[in-house]
Amino acid sequence: MKKIYFNMTTRERRAAIVEHDRVVELMIERPVENRIVGNIYLGRVINVLPGMQAAFVDIGRDKNGFLYRDDLLSFHLSTENEDTKKKRNVSEFVKQGEEVLVQVTKEGFGTKGPRLTGVVSFPGRYVVYMPEGGYIGISRRFSSEAERERWRELGEEMLQKEEGMIVRTICEGRDTDIIKQDLQFLRMCWQEIWKEGKNRKAPALIHQDSGLLERVVRDFSFEDVSEVVIDSLRDYQVLKVLLEPYPELRAKLKLYRERENIFSAYAIEKELEKALRQQIWLKNGAYLMIDQTEALTVIDVNTGKFTGKTDLNDTIVKTNKEAAKEIARQLRLRDIAGIIVIDFIDMKREEDRLEVLRIFQHALKHDRTKTNVVGLTGLGLVEMTRKKVRQNLQASLSKICPTCQGKGVVLSDEANAFKIERVLWEHQGMDEDALLLEIPSKIAKVLFGQKGEHLKRLEEALGFRIFVYANRLLPEDKFAIRFIGNKEDATEQLERLKASK
């Protein structure tokens, strides 16, 4: 059973999805984050790139959006057969300076601008409405092909002109009147939005996507939700209104009134702290190592403390099965996307490899984000992709370390000491007879020796006196030459430096 917890008391609003007492998904909304996925803009084409089959579109933000030919509405609605259409150039479908209605499908990351589509869509509880989509899509998770075909026919009856829609899995077994109401509501929303938006000048924001509460109610299936807890009275009242169509769920809605933060009270905060770690321990004593880069994530499975009870192969298979379930959860929780490579412990038997792969694919079925498991490589690695929509958890909650610049390592004490020594050698033979050096305490011991035995040797080689202020508070990668001059002034500067710290 699922439980949903909302932490809404601060400006950072959070929602956590818990399955079987474990956090599987986290959503964060911040006022400064400027989340734009789902937003609709009237944009202007700045540049058409035939070599990339794409166009850059000005949507009024810092970076222009990127629109592929296949995502253009004019390409999408073309009645030519697919092979002929695919051979045509992007410049035949869009021109520089042209105004286009676009929707953001992926946030901009790093130097990349947001990804756009010309096929605008409005997600509802039961269907995704596309004002000019021109086709009907049916969820692949329907129980039978016959049911999918039935909904395809029903959808054709409900749509008008160039409209399109995607029928969600939740529609299976539902009364068609409820789905018609959902579709009509979305249609009216779009008509109201476009009534004002069509008179604006590009670039302009036409529609801002819903907030956190609305998105959770819209996007999640509540059929197996046993509890919804929220810590803000105002948002509790809003949520009650949003859940009016679901009386059985309103009865499960609770207002959290305790002083302790709701995420701490329900042990969610600890789970989030673990989700930022590189090493993840499994219940049986094995562990995962997760290394994330911008485009690739590598996950390594290790037996760790788990030694098993029968033989080596049994230990390996049990570890891999446990790891497969946890990896699927970590992908959702951390919102890891892009190319993912998983190094399970090597298994000798083909049936064991296929069983672990089956368990992994089954665990991924609970993931709302599109995944594609390619399979096992010749080296026994599992390759897969997961669609990237927004920043992952690590990017949302952390920043690049200013010391190591994201490398995860820093120079050793010896390397830092020799780096400083090289700088001192650059002053060999200078006219002044003294130099004042501020240096971290632990680096000073490496450079000059525990008792300063190397200092005299260095002074003789360089031809000047070195005054040292060993600062225990100074970061180990920092140092500074504070003064160069005569010995008397250097001594005075050293005393001032000591007094000021």
Cα separation of 102 and 120, whole Å? 7
Q: Within a 10 A sphere around the Cβ of 27, how many other Cβ atoms?
A: 17
Cβ atoms of 320 and 351 within 8 Å: the answer is no
Reduced to 3 states, what is the DSSP secondary structure of residue 196? helix
* Helices (H), ranges, 60-122: 73-77, 82-87
pLDDT tens by residue, 413-462: 999 999 999 999 999 989 999 999 999 999 999 999 888 889 999 999 99
- What's the average model confidence in pLDDT over 122-146? 86
**Amino acid at position 478, single letter:** K
Q: Which residue has the higher pLDDT, 350 or 244?
A: 350
- What's the average model confidence in pLDDT over 391-406? 81
Cα separation of 135 and 82, whole Å? 15
Q: What is the mean pLDDT of the chain?
A: 89
pTM: 0.76
The CATH label, of 2.60.40.10, 3.40.50.300, 3.40.1260.20, 3.40.630.70, for the domain at 413-500 is 3.40.1260.20
**How far is the CA of 266 from the CAs of 5, 228, 251, in angstroms?**
9, 12, 20
pLDDT tens by residue, 296-317: 999 999 887 766 556 778 888 9
Instruction: Give me the pLDDT at residue 393, please.
Output: 84
Q: How close are the terminal C-alpha atoms of the chain, in Å?
A: 58
pLDDT tens by residue, 206-232: 998 878 888 888 777 777 888 999 999
**Which range, 102-116, 379-393, 464-478, has the best average confidence (pLDDT)?**
464-478
Cα separation of 292 and 299, whole Å? 9
* Helices (H), ranges, 103-202: 145-158, 176-197
175: left (phi over 0), alpha (psi -120 to 50) or beta: beta
- Where do the CATH 3.30.420.60 domains begin and end in the chain? 2-33+210-270
DSSP letter, residue 209: P
Cβ atoms of 491 and 460 within 8 Å: the answer is no
Cα separation of 9 and 264, whole Å? 13
Confidence category of residue 89, pLDDT binned at 50, 70, 90: very high
Cβ atoms of 338 and 372 within 8 Å: the answer is no
Cα separation of 296 and 300, whole Å? 13
Confidence category of residue 20, pLDDT binned at 50, 70, 90: confident
- Where do the CATH 3.40.1260.20 domains begin and end in the chain? 413-500
**How far is the CA of 427 from the CAs of 274, 420, 479, in angstroms?**
49, 12, 16
54 alpha carbon, distance to own chain's centre: 25
CATH architecture of 2-33+210-270: 2-Layer Sandwich (3.30)
Indicate whether 33 pLDDT > 80.
no
- What's the average model confidence in pLDDT over 145-167? 88
**How far is the CA of 37 from the CAs of 185, 207, 235, 420, in angstroms?**
21, 11, 23, 48
pLDDT tens by residue, 249-279: 788 899 999 999 999 999 999 888 888 899 9
Q: Taking CA 81 as the corner, what is the angle to CA 79 and CA 82, rounded to the nearest 5 degrees?
A: 110
